[in-house]
Amino acid sequence: MAGIDPRALRDACGSFATGVTVISTTTQDGDHGMTANAFMSVSLDPPLISISLDRKSRMHGKVREAGCYAVSILAQDMEPIAQHFAGRHNPHLAEVFERRGDLPVVPGAAAVFLAEVAQEVEAGDHTLFIGRVTGIDRADGARPLLFCAGRFGGLAG
């Protein structure tokens, strides 16, 4: 079988609509955040979630150093926050985080998970950081921000 073209794989995976999250952590040099859609629930008992980070990303080293992370599932009106943490810096959002315990989170998010890294799994050019959930918060009725085929969207009314 011929090799799989990485761009074709990325485009095909992009056909899967996902929610949009901001992964965040804090280290001795401050708070850090990154937009990501590679998030999933792993287990209810024990409560585990997972994020997938490119080993070349700055956030990879920050999560490894901190040993914990937060996942803020963005609400439908939070596209500017998603863009900000995806590298399109908006100076008005420089101080967007609020604290939940020791971790920075996005205020007004549809849901927030706090997690301690329980296991790291090397997977190709990424690492899966499986986290034991230590806290959750959910905004009842909040509609999630969605991402599919390179575009943001929301749920139909």
Count of domains forming the chain: 1
Looking up residue 44, the CATH number of its domain turns out to be 2.30.110.10
**Of the candidates 60, 63, 75, the residue with the CA atom closest to the CA atom of residue 115:** 63
Sorting pLDDT into bands at 50, 70 and 90, what band is 1? very low
- Please report whether residue 1 resides in a domain: no
Distance, in Å, from the CA atom of 49 to the CA atom of 100, rounded to the nearest integer, reads: 17
Reduced DSSP (H G I as helix, E B as strand, rest coil) percent helix, strand, coil of the chain, to 5:
15, 45, 35
Q: What is the pLDDT of residues 18-40, one digit of tens each?
A: 899 999 999 999 999 999 989 99
Residue 99 lies in a domain: yes
Residue 8, in any domain of the structure: no
46's CB contacts (< 8 A; 6+ apart) are: 132
pLDDT in tens, 26-76: 999 999 999 998 999 999 999 999 999 999 999 999 999 999 999 999 999
pLDDT, residue 102, reads: 93
